[in-house]
Copies of this chain bind each other. A is one copy, B any other.
Amino acid sequence: MDETTPPEDSHSQITSAHRELLDQVLDKWSLLVLDRLCEGPRRFNGLRRSIPGVAQKSLTASLRRLERNGMVERVVIHTRPVAVEYRISALGRTLQDLIDALLLWTTTHMTEVDNARNRFDAALDT
């Protein structure tokens, strides 16, 4: 068993389909959208304002994709003008802990990463 044929333990087969799914859920904005929606239902522009830097088009795309994947629900409220509420679904909730853990990880290890970056960049001048 050389190193070109690695041991295939439980989840080593995870590649195409699983990666594609993660791409849909953990893409540039989706993770932040889900995080916001975990706090409670939000409407489009409120959501938009709570995520600085997101373009309207990108947010729309992100929401559509999350809706398609069953992570969020889109509720249209027929007032004038129309209101649309987005809320996280049960399936979406199953990701909440992971998202929290992920975001927590960034805050916890941000400085270590910064140090590593500085070391790496400094080593290039050698």
Which A residues fall within an 8 A CB radius of B? 3-4, 6-7, 9, 11-12, 14-19, 21-23, 26, 28, 31-32, 35-36, 39-40, 42-43, 45-46, 49-53, 67-71, 91, 94-95, 98, 100-107, 109-110, 112-113, 115-117, 119-121
Contact = CB atoms under 8 A, between A and B. Distances in A.
A98 to B, nearest CB: 6
Given A68-B117, A91-B112, A116-B91, A11 B104 contact: yes
Contact of A107 (B11, B91, B110, B116): B11
Contact of A21 (B7, B52, B106): B106
18 contacts: A3-B42, A11-B104, A12-B39, A14-B103, A15-B52, A18-B103, A18-B106, A21-B106, A22-B26, A26-B102, A67-B120, A69-B116, A70-B113, A70-B117, A70-B120, A94-B109, A98-B102, A98-B105
A91 B31 CA distance: 22
